[in-house]
Amino acid sequence: MIRRRTTARGLAALVAAGAGPALARQRSVHWVKWVDFVPETDLLFRDELLPRAEKELGLRIVLETVNGNDLLPRMRGAIRAGNGPDLFMAFNEQPWLAADATVDLADLAARIAARDGGWTEAARAQCSDGRRFMALPWVTIGSLGTWRKSWLQEAGGAGPPATWDSYRAIGRALKQGGRPIGQTLGRAFGDAPGFAYPYLWSWGGKEVEADGRTVAIHAPETIESVRFFQGLWADAMDPRGFDWDDTGNNRAFLAQEIGGTLNGASIYLAARRQPERYRTATGAPLADDIVHAPLPAGPGGAPGLHLLQSLLLMRYAPDPAAAKDFLDWLYAPEAYGRFFRSQQGFSTPCTGRWEGDPAWDADPVLAPFRAAARTGRAPGWPGPPHAGAARSLSRFVVPQMYARAVRGQSAAEAVAWADGALRAAYAG
């Protein structure tokens, strides 16, 4: 379900006072971002940060929040129309799909990097072609395994599984006890690729070669990963995951219907926020029974894929200088620091300055997320980020390959479908 709210302070008062023409002359910025999984952050923006920015910059700022899955379609529609919001939030390599429709933000990016310790490699690569910045990196949302500690022990695990064989064995025991692993294979912008890409890579599979053009999915490593996943899904996974968006596993975990899932820190933060509501069967706070860990390792190691968020300034914006002034204000340490701390460990900034922030020391359960921004790979690895990889990601090719396999296609058939889909995505 789409959730949308728009903030435009003072509009009714100005209209009532007959100040329409004055309002029309006022510089304004319209920003569209996702509905944050940390509610405190959106409240901070609406109640404190944006009113302050309006006052200090002399701007009217409209903040619109939408479901994350709706950001790319909304941006594409605005590009086609040649008008719309000035600023859009984007995920991972989506800026490459709007490269010709955005304002180059290299000047801002250079100032921020010089002040805050430089951009992480993944953030720079997904937002810049080496010459211009199509977007400014905002934050990285770490994706890690979220587990019930006590249920892992009951399933025979000393801790979160470190290999796919142990993941399957623990998952089988959890499922037999009515507590399966919950993993979406749907068109969920964060959790589906956040699992499927690292899973593929961990088996030694890849979408393309290092040249970023030669499709390489049809390989023995990929087929073996699909065959194993067919058994893994049957033995250990919750079949409802076919239909979940990025909130489905959150709800299932908090309802104590699943024993593990791949997620950001939002499940833990929700349990910590409402300890009286979320309790275990023994009456203990659910938050005290949660642990985070990377996905298991395979023959190709244990790489990760974390959700990069960035901000794009659209070329059609009537007053790009106003939008750049707002971005400059937003990334300044005072405002950005308040945003970062409101996230409580859910997101990791993309510059070196913030990894050492004392906020990370407040809760050791969140410590594994601390380095998310500088770990993990970009979609399309080992090739460089570009529009082909972004198209593949937006079409959910890799997650859908595994979904097709567990819905009845053979491993060879699912991989053959992915090969064709990737060739189409990388060809444009």
- The pair of three-digit structure tokens given for residue 167, joined into one six-digit string: 């993941």
Domain covering 145-305+395-427: architecture: 3-Layer(aba) Sandwich (3.40)
DSSP annotation of 384: P
Q: Residue 7 pLDDT > 50, yes or no? A: no
Cα torsion for 244, 296, 407, 240, to the nearest 10°?
A: -30
Supply the pLDDT for residue 238. 97
Q: Residue 118 pLDDT > 60, yes or no? A: yes
Q: How far apart are CA 177 and CA 240, in angstroms?
A: 17
- The pair of three-digit structure tokens given for residue 55, joined into one six-digit string: 């006052």
Confidence of residue 373 (pLDDT cuts 50, 70, 90): confident
Supply the pLDDT for residue 372. 86
- Is the Cβ–Cβ distance between 114 and 353 less than 8 Å? no
- When pLDDT is averaged across residues 345-369 and rounded to a whole number, the result is 94
Query: How do the domains of the chain map onto residue ranges?
Result: 5-141+307-370, 145-305+395-427
Q: Parallel, antiparallel, or unpaired for β 87-91 and 28-34?
A: parallel
- Is the Cβ–Cβ distance between 320 and 203 less than 8 Å? no
Half-sphere exposure of 266 (CA within 13 A, CB side): 24
pLDDT digits (tens, 9 = 90+) for 169-208: 999 999 999 999 999 999 999 999 999 999 999 999 999 9
CA distances 114 to 117, 123, 173, 184, 310, Å, are 6, 15, 51, 39, 18
- Is the Cβ–Cβ distance between 286 and 252 less than 8 Å? no
Least confident segment among 17-31, 131-145, 237-251:
17-31
pLDDT digits (tens, 9 = 90+) for 381-403: 999 999 999 999 999 999 999 99
- Is the Cβ–Cβ distance between 197 and 122 less than 8 Å? no
Q: Is the pTM of this model over 0.75?
A: yes
Question: How many other C-beta atoms are found inside a 10 Å radius of the C-beta of residue 424?
Answer: 15
The CATH code that applies to domain 5-141+307-370 is 3.40.190.10
Confidence of residue 17 (pLDDT cuts 50, 70, 90): very low
Q: Residue 21 pLDDT > 70, yes or no? A: no
- When pLDDT is averaged across residues 4-17 and rounded to a whole number, the result is 41
Confidence of residue 145 (pLDDT cuts 50, 70, 90): very high
Q: Parallel, antiparallel, or unpaired for β 87-91 and 307-313?
A: antiparallel
Q: Which helix (H) or strand (E) holds 108?
A: helix 106-116
Q: Residue 309 pLDDT > 70, yes or no? A: yes
- Is the Cβ–Cβ distance between 390 and 135 less than 8 Å? no
Confidence of residue 428 (pLDDT cuts 50, 70, 90): confident
The per-residue pLDDT of the chain, averaged, comes to 93
pLDDT digits (tens, 9 = 90+) for 37-91: 999 999 999 999 999 999 999 999 999 999 999 999 999 999 999 999 999 999 9
Confidence of residue 6 (pLDDT cuts 50, 70, 90): very low
Supply the pLDDT for residue 25. 65
Question: How many other C-beta atoms are found inside a 10 Å radius of the C-beta of residue 24?
Answer: 8
CA distances 111 to 89, 105, 114, 183, 270, Å, are 20, 10, 5, 40, 35
Q: Residue 148 pLDDT > 60, yes or no? A: yes
- The strand pairing partners of 144, in sequence order, are 263
- Is the Cβ–Cβ distance between 267 and 144 less than 8 Å? no
Residue 39: exposure state from Cβ atoms within 10 A (0-12, 13-18, ≥19): middle
Supply the pLDDT for residue 375. 85
pLDDT digits (tens, 9 = 90+) for 273-292: 999 999 999 999 999 999 99
Percent of the chain with pLDDT over 70: 94
Fold equal for 5-141+307-370 and 145-305+395-427 = yes
DSSP annotation of 295: P
Confidence of residue 243 (pLDDT cuts 50, 70, 90): confident
3-class SS of residue 353: helix
Q: Residue 18 pLDDT > 50, yes or no? A: no
More confident residue, 21 or 390: 390
